Amino acid sequence: MAERERRRTPPYGGVFVARSEVLDQAAVRRAVRRMAHEIVEANEGLVDVMLVGLQTGGVPFAEAIAEALEEIEGVSVPIGKLDVAFYRDDINLRPVLPEADTEISADVTRKIVVLVDDVLFTGRTIRAALDAIMDQGRPRSIQLAVMVDRGHRELPIRPDYVGKNLPTSRTESVNATVERVELGEVTR
C-alpha cells in the first residue's frame, strides 16, 4: 500500500516520474521466486501458512508469491487482502480508497500469516497491519515479505523476506509493481 497510496494522496498527490529502472520484469520474477523459496525454507511444508497482501500495492505481490509457492511446493496457500485505512496513525491525512477491500476468508487463528507489501518505508503501514490482523484472530506468527526495503524506518519493524534492498533518500519515491521496480520522484 505504502508507496502507491502515498503518490495518490495529498500532500503526496502528484505524478511519479521514474529516474531509473532498478529491476525489470524478469528480475522482479526472480526476486519473487527467491522470496518464495525462503518462505518454504522457513516454514516447512507450508503448513498453516497464509499470505495477506496489503491494499493496494501488496496484493499483486501476494498473488505472485502464491503462484511461485504452488510451482515450488505444489501447495496452494490461502491468500487474503487487507486494507489498513482504519488502523493508521495518520488517519486524518489519507482518504479511504473505496476499491481497497479487506477480504480474509480463512480464520487467521493459529496460522502463520505472511504479510506482503510492495515497499517498506517508515513501517507505519505494517504497524497498522499488525493491529488489523490481531483483530481478525490470534495467528501463531506473523512474518513480513516486501518487494523493496527502502530504509528510513521509524518503528522497530524489520522484514523477514526482501526482494530488493534499495538505499533511497527521503525525497525519492519508489514504484514497485510485478512488471518493474523504479526509483524516481513525485512532482506536484
Chain residues binding other proteins by CB under 8 A are: 6, 10-12, 83, 85-87, 89-96, 98, 101-102, 122, 124, 131-132, 135-137, 152, 170-171, 173, 186, 188
- Region class of 47: left (phi > 0), else alpha (psi between -120 and 50), else beta: beta
CB of 107 to other proteins, least distance (A): 8
DSSP string across 130-188: HHHHHTT---SEEEEEEEEE----SSS---SEEEEE----TT-EEEE-SS-EEEEEEE-
CB of 87 to other proteins, least distance (A): 6
Return the number of the residue (68 or 183) whose C-beta is nearest other proteins.
Answer: 183
Cβ–Cβ contacts within 10 Å for residue 11, how many? Answer: 8
Which residue's CB is nearer to other proteins, number 25 or number 109?
109
Distance CA 114, CA 37 (A): 14
- The answer to whether residues 28 and 21 touch, using CB atoms and an 8 Å cutoff, is no
Q: How far is the CB of 122 from other proteins (least distance, A)?
A: 7
Name the minimum Å distance from CB 186 to other proteins: 7
Cell numbers describing residue 36: 518464495
**Which residue, 75 or 91, has its beta carbon nearer to other proteins?**
91
SS3 content of the chain, % helix, strand, coil (to 5): 30, 30, 40
Nearer to other proteins, 66 or 84 (CB): 84
Nearer Cβ to other proteins, position 32 or 139?
Answer: 139
Q: How far is the CB of 160 from other proteins (least distance, A)?
A: 24
